[in-house]
């Protein structure tokens, strides 16, 4: 039986005897299939953790929010990512004692290193430095790569025993800590490799620490939306998302031709399952593309998928107004294809640019109003990947971006009264976070390479730290899939994934042919058949789902 059903029975008894103080949540999963029933045992604990998952369960409401007695404002409780900061250094190895390939070599000209030197020369794709570390028991460990950047921000790959675990990043020209958190290591010796991605770093040494315990309160989310006037279906959907979070992963897939497009057909043909979330893009509705003959059909596709019981998410590759396009018009969302200056616009120095952006917003609002009229709640993810700078809305820095994000929120929420939107922020850097009052879900987009099935827990933890409250955290775009077993083991409880279309799933040649370039067929089948993955077939009727508190 689900914990929430047990709690409901207890709550009824307590009311009868006027006892107060237990934690209560509605039995919101009454329509979920057996697969979607949350189990009593949380399965994402570390193998060597003895911490009770029910810590403070009887005080969830107190831990989550403080209510101001003078008004109805809900103030988030500060929730750190970790329960404590206790870590033990268990192994250190100097980079100069490793094995090198390509251009990597030992040097000692810079200051601040330890040992007899450091290594540099990460310049070509096959340049690597491999060191060996050893641990005495199975468990989670943090790896600290003491390194320095040569020429600004740099990212480089980390492999453990030949498996790509993601990247480390640094923009510090001095030797400093660069930590990859929660790497699962079995007892014994392991090979740790730093491989050139962007390259151009100096690597001094590698340290291995015991990992800190993730604060369980970061997984406990109340279904409170930023928009206090949210529609009934938006509230119902948010309640469902919160109820399954920390236990289940919603499957998702971008497909610009809808449920019966090639990506969905290939997935169903291979696995027998249908993704729970359909990802769509408002790109073709942008005025500068409409001027060139583009015509979107995504609004109708979204309505159809909702009617078939699915969940819809929208991004918007916002093509800049025609005035600012400098290269091919169809690439007008890229910084390199425009000369738009968002800072000047937001500072009031480009009034025409401001008016043009408002016109663009009006065009998208028109489509969102159609979805609202059809009672379709949307996981709305505008202005995505801003901190990368490759899209024009991120090219002027965080201040201008946050202004635009807030303006978009206020215009759609207050002026257009769009109450069917669940706001998914996807800026991908803490400095770009607009504030909890504008965000319902935090999203990360990750493309780690080909056939990399790791949980990407380091990015998950990074996202948890964007806010001192607790937010649903989703993998809003991905190339290859992650292995659910690894995600559960690592505590990387992404609420969903949403694989990008095209080559990440389907080949361009042939009709409805699976591409295994990024995710092999066996892994695709494993993921979609996993007991902790919810597909379209597993979803309840959201239109009747109870609204939580």
Catalytic residue ranges: 385, 477
Q: Cα–Cα distance between 528 and 480 in angstroms, integer?
A: 13
Residue found by looking up tokens 């929120």 in the block: 409
Q: Cα–Cα distance between 160 and 183 in angstroms, integer?
A: 9
Q: Cα–Cα distance between 203 and 143 in angstroms, integer?
A: 13
Asked if 380 contacts 367 with a C-beta cutoff of 8 angstroms, the reply is no
**CA-closest candidate to residue 493, choices 42, 39, 54:** 42
Classified as helix, coil or strand, 218 is helix
Q: Cα–Cα distance between 468 and 239 in angstroms, integer?
A: 21
Q: Cα–Cα distance between 250 and 481 in angstroms, integer?
A: 12
Count the Cβ atoms, other than its own, within 10 Å of residue 35. Answer: 14
Query: Tokens standing for 398?
Result: 């965080």
Q: 318 Cβ partners below 8 Å, 6+ apart?
A: 283, 286, 333, 360, 382, 383, 391, 392, 393
Q: Cα–Cα distance between 210 and 485 in angstroms, integer?
A: 21
Angle at Cα 325 formed by Cα 322 and Cα 329, nearest 5°? 80
Helix 262-271, helix 521-529: angle, nearest 10: 80
| Residue 162 burial by Cβ neighbours in a 10 Å radius (0-12, 13-18, 19+) | exposed
Query: Tokens standing for 220?
Result: 């406990």
Query: Tokens standing for 387?
Result: 């901190």
Q: Cα–Cα distance between 445 and 442 in angstroms, integer?
A: 10
Asked if 527 contacts 494 with a C-beta cutoff of 8 angstroms, the reply is no
Q: What is the DSSP string of 456-477?
A: -HHHHHHHHTT-SS--EEEEEE
Helix or strand (DSSP H, E) at 289: helix 287-290
Asked if 38 contacts 247 with a C-beta cutoff of 8 angstroms, the reply is yes
Query: Tokens standing for 90?
Result: 């268990």
Count the Cβ atoms, other than its own, within 10 Å of residue 531. Answer: 11
Asked if 277 contacts 312 with a C-beta cutoff of 8 angstroms, the reply is yes
- Residue 179 phi/psi, 5-degree rounding, is -105, 135
Residue found by looking up tokens 């430095």 in the block: 129
Asked if 242 contacts 277 with a C-beta cutoff of 8 angstroms, the reply is no
Query: How many Cα atoms occupy the beta-carbon half-sphere of 65 within 13 Å?
Result: 14
Helix or strand (DSSP H, E) at 10: helix 3-16
- Residue 60 phi/psi, 5-degree rounding, is -60, -45
């Amino acid at each position: 039986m689900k914990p929430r059903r047990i709690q409901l029975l207890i709550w009824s008894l307590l009311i009868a005897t006027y006892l107060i103080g237990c934690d209560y949540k509605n039995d919101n999963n009454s329509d979920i299939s057996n697969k979607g029933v949350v189990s009593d045992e949380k399965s994402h604990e570390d193998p060597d953790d003895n911490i009770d998952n029910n810590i403070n369960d009887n005080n969830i409401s107190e831990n989550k929010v403080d209510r101001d007695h003078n008004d109805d404002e809900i103030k988030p409780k500060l929730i750190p990512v970790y329960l404590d900061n206790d870590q033990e250094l268990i192994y250190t190895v100097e980079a100069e004692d490793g094995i090198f390939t390509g251009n990597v070599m030992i040097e000692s000209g810079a200051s601040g290193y330890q040992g007899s030197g450091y290594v540099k020369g990460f310049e070509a794709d096959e340049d690597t430095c491999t060191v060996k570390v050893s641990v005495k028991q199975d468990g989670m460990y943090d790896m600290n790569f003491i390194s320095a950047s040569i020429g600004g921000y740099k990212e480089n790959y980390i492999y453990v025993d030949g498996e790509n675990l993601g990247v480390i990043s640094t923009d510090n020209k001095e030797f400093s800590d660069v930590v990859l958190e929660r790497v699962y290591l079995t007892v014994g010796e392991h090979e740790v490799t730093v491989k050139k991605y962007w390259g151009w770093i100096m690597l001094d040494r590698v340290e291995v620490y015991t990992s800190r315990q993730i604060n369980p309160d970061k997984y406990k989310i109340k279904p409170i939306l930023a928009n206090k006037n949210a529609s009934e279906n938006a509230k119902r959907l948010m309640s469902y998302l919160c109820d399954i979070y920390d236990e289940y992963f919603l499957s998702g897939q971008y497909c610009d031709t809808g449920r019966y497009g090639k990506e969905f057909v290939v997935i169903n043909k291979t696995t027998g399952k249908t993704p729970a979330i359909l990802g769509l893009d408002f790109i073709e509705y942008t005025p500068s593309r409409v001027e060139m003959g583009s015509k979107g059909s995504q609004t109708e596709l979204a309505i159809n998928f909702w009617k078939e019981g699915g969940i819809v998410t929208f991004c918007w590759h916002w093509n800049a107004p025609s005035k600012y396009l400098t290269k091919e018009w169809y690439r007008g969302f890229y910084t390199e294809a425009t000369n738009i200056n968002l800072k000047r616009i937001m500072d009031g120095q480009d009034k025409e640019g401001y008016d043009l952006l408002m016109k663009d917003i009006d065009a998208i609002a028109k489509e969102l109003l159609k979805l609202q009229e059809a009672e379709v709640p949307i996981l709305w993810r505008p202005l995505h990947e801003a901190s990368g700078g490759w899209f024009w809305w991120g090219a002027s820095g965080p201040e201008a971006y946050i202004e635009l994000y807030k303006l978009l929120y206020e215009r759609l929420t207050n002026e257009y009264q769009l109450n069917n939107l669940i706001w998914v922020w996807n800026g991908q850097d803490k400095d770009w976070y607009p504030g909890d009052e504008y965000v319902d879900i935090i999203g990360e987009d990750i493309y780690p390479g080909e056939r990399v099935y790791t949980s990407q827990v380091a990015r998950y933890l990074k996202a948890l730290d964007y806010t001192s409250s607790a937010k649903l955290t989703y993998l809003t775009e991905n190339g290859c899939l992650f292995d659910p077993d690894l995600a559960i083991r690592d505590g990387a409880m992404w609420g969903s994934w949403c694989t990008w279309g095209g080559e990440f799933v389907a080949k361009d040649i042939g009709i409805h042919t699976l591409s295994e370039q990024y995710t092999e067929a066996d892994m695709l089948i494993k993921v979609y058949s996993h007991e902790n993955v919810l597909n379209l077939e597993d979803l309840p009727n959201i239109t009747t789902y109870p609204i939580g508190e």
